[in-house]
Amino acid sequence: MAKIRKLASIENGIMEVLKILSEEEIQEAIGKGSSYLRKCSNPTLPQQLDHNDSIKLDIKCIQKGKGHPLFDSHEYIVINQLENVETHKTNDIDDLLVKSNILHGKLSEAVKLAEDTRSELGKEISKLEKKEIMEAIRNLENKILKIKLTVDQK
């Protein structure tokens, strides 16, 4: 029977890694196979995935252009604890989605302005423009994380 894993839990992050990386890529990254990761992803067993291994697996996923599922899981857990400590307020998902759309628009605008031929370096993106784009991405990622937290709490 399939095990239910919490949204953005370490176990779920491991399952995402298993979807992204092949057996060979996992072996190359951490020197262990996918069966080891499947064992670590079992929510009824204590976690045995080494922190350094999780970093190596995320780096391998990033190299494939597929994000960093274990980092996302760690970030989710820490932010969830901070939210529990700071406040117990509930967020309205519709409001969060509207705000995320606004942030997406700001990201799109930053990229479009940076790639404009009339910008500082023309089609090339300057260091300042990269900084602005990265900040817009971070803001959007934070809002998406807040949506995940809200969905998980409901």
DSSP state of 116: S
133, 107 Cβ separation under 8 angstroms: yes
Whose tokens are 């991405």? That residue is: 137
Give the C-alpha separation, 72 to 62, whole Å: 12
Q: Does pLDDT of 6 surpass 80?
A: no
Q: Among 22, 91, 11, 26, which Cα is nearest to 56's?
A: 26
Q: Does pLDDT of 4 surpass 80?
A: no
Give the C-alpha separation, 82 to 78, whole Å: 6
Report pLDDT for 17. Answer: 95
Q: Does pLDDT of 25 surpass 90?
A: yes
Report pLDDT for 147. Answer: 85
Report pLDDT for 93. Answer: 83
Q: How many other C-beta atoms lie within 10 A of the C-beta of residue 141?
A: 15
Stated pTM of the model: 0.58
Report pLDDT for 85. Answer: 54
Residue 10: band (very low, low, confident or very high) from pLDDT cuts 50, 70, 90: confident
Q: Which two tokens stand for residue 132?
A: 């602005």
What's the mean pLDDT when you consider all of the chain? Answer: 85
Q: Does pLDDT of 88 surpass 50?
A: no
pLDDT tens for 91-135 read 688 888 888 999 999 999 999 988 988 887 888 888 889 999 999
